């Protein structure tokens, strides 16, 4: 079963945790410190739900599927033996493997992606008359996604744009089939 999307209040609650670096409706990024503490407690045979709760995160917000996925992810990081990684340490880990030229290319690609994401959001706001993306009808959101996908330099994918716009991917593809 797929993970449920977080509601706005759940996102705010998660963001208040010192162990959460970032959260979107679909994904939570935990700190390396959280992963380390989680693993230490798991090694003591504590249950994952109890561990999450003891670290100040409501296990009911995460759900069993995410908690089990977290357990697997942390176990895999332990097996690799490179320490625990998070949003802050991921790029540092890349430095060991990339030449300076490739690191620059990687950073340029990240910058281009962020720029395109910002342009997509600006387009969404502009088309909504400044009232915010959630207030415009789904078909208008699908059109913004379609227009963005038509750009030759497109770096965003349909899944990301649907998540940002608050619409389903299947709805977007249905829109493409039914629009003339």
The predicted-structure confidence for 31-50, as pLDDT tens digits, reads as follows 889 999 999 999 999 999 99
What 8-state DSSP symbol labels residue 132?
-
Tell me: the pLDDT tens digits for 85-132?
776 665 554 555 556 777 787 788 788 878 777 777 777 666 656 555
Tokens of 102: 């490739």
* Residues 26/159, Cβ–Cβ less than 8 Å: no
The domain spans of the chain are: 8-88, 104-178
Q: If we measure between CA atoms, which residue out of 77, 86, 144, 140 comes closest to residue 117?
A: 144
């Amino acid at each position: 079963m797929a993970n449920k999307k977080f509601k706005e209040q759940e996102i705010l609650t998660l963001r208040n945790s010192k162990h959460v670096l970032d959260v979107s409706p679909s994904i939570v990024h935990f700190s390396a410190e959280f992963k380390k503490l989680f693993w230490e407690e798991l090694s003591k045979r504590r249950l994952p739900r109890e561990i999450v709760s003891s670290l100040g995160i409501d296990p009911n917000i995460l759900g069993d599927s995410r908690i089990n996925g977290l357990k697997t992810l942390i176990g895999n990081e332990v097996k690799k033996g490179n320490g625990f990684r998070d949003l802050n340490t991921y790029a540092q880990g890349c430095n060991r493997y990339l030449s300076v030229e490739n690191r620059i290319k990687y950073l340029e690609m990240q910058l281009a992606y962020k720029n395109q994401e910002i342009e997509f959001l600006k387009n969404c706001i502009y088309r909504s008359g400044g009232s915010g993306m959630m207030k415009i009808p789904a078909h208008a959101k699908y059109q913004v996604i379609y227009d963005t996908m038509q750009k030759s330099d497109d770096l965003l994918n349909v899944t990301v744009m649907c998540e940002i716009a608050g619409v389903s991917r299947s709805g977007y593809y249905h829109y493409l089939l039914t629009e003339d």
